[in-house]
Chains A and B, each alone.
Chain A
């Protein structure tokens, strides 16, 4: 690993490995020496500095984000110095002989995370290393342990999905399950799945459909159709990404590296299916509701200003489980499986039912088919 490293590493804690949880005197936190330290930058100050640099703003678009900002001398000064403070924080922690171990480790992790490469170019060792850092970082910050996977695509697997529009009753159990599974922002009530209530006899008219109904379902004279990311085999969102932060994996999942995304939202504009979501504010999930079974490319906690979307629950599907929406659906309208397995149920549906996809003429080749009984 050391000889493949592409950047300089900080070694703030002198010859300690990143996974060493205790220091020489046996304490798991706090310095071994005196705790009196006037120069030490506390976690609280550090976080405040970071927060100041990404202070919450009301969602604005384009021009407004840059120019239409009310800023007094104080906040302008804060913003200017925030980034300096991050650097200074690392320096002060590194120079201090008595700064606590956790702070040093956190600074090390932040440094490494800052310079890591694009996930799709990483070797398996590098993937494991970043996952370990993220798990440790979460542990330092919250005291809670999560499990995060960097499991790669399995050979001979291509994921596909089928949705039975005669079965869906519009209960939205899938939406709730998805939000809980994927740690979606509770404040903005982000949801990857939308269920469209459509009038019988009007065709697939999304313009007239209602995707935020609240009445007893199924409603007379209506049918229900769910949309989410279709994991196109020829995904336009991937084509337009200027930094290659989103790509199609070997098993067909279209994924996002949240640490590589610059938040330009080109992909959101390019998606013909409105499958992508943007974090306008820092996503908030109450600690007790966080799903601790995570995948780097899936439901790990996101930050402000990055794109996210349905990943067919990569943390579940690559392990062999059905995505949360499939599991939660009480009607059996959702069918998921391996398109390359000739014996799979998804293949039977494609070969025996009359299936169609949305906007097929665009050539995006979605791996999400609709059918009727």
Chain B
């Protein structure tokens, strides 16, 4: 009976070999896949146990992890949570949601490949692994000014440094408190999230980059840029500015918003048309230059681009197919032109930066837990939207808007401000959105701003961009220029 016993030992060897293979498959070959499963509670817990990086505005941490004595080891805390809610997003056991918490989760949690060498050294030094800190580009004064200006208004305000694309302010109202979503009491988080998510005012939505609005008259800057770029027009070109423009191919026509003609004479200069925001003149201009010129100019300002700042920016758009009435409407920012406030800030910044649009970004540098800089932002050119000459003409036209046009409320003592108002209709019987885009100082721009107050803000239907949005933009520019 010895031979079969020996053969039985081979069977035993085969049985154990199969176990060696199966455990190797699980613990080595497919371990990474299993660990990456979204329902893997261990992975979640270990990410929690690791000290998550801070999000800094200036020298202040607006999101930080504080050690606590429970299963999760650290509690995420947002000082000034409501002010920076859409910048930080929130981080809970359900995962990171919104803002930098979500977009840069790998860096903050320390799992990013950029931190690989650090993690290896942590392994050998026995130091507890930590996530990297993110230093944002935000200017706390501009951010506060924007939030203070918007107050209870539903809307958004965004500010850029025109020369770099650094985002100086990103405010979306109504806002929320990310601390409500960071509690370790999961049912509470769930309840708060559902409340916020069901709120018709959409507080979780980052309106600066993820909401699309009709731009209204602020889009005239793009139309003007397209016209000037053709070479057939300049800031002094004479345009017709009747009370009503008869639209071709249809019985409808396009009136000015106050119902009157734009000037005392039959024709006005393009600068004047910009200053008083003359609908008929810009609709005429749009019809003259054609849809292709308008669309390609918009694209040069970044329309249609998928940007990540690092949060994803919803692309703005000018409809692809436009008949003549639609083209006329589109030229004054109506019909189906849709923009994010970020896109309009980029238009202002592009004009301010001698025609060059810089790619917007929110993270200035990534700093390791040992305070060494792992990565720092290098400003990048997105496109040359217009020539420096055209940019200069646009600047003068926008200065006229603030000097003695619809944007007087953005005037600042001793500083030339360039701006453009907008009052965007969005449906019959609904109050128009109030827009304002601007930059200052006009001769050496340090800040470009876009502000929108949905439904004209608290002042009611008659309020245009000049009365509601311009003062907020002014407050933000003043904060930047230390005035």
Partners in one complex: no
Binding site for A on B (CB under 8 A): none
Binding site for B on A (CB under 8 A): none
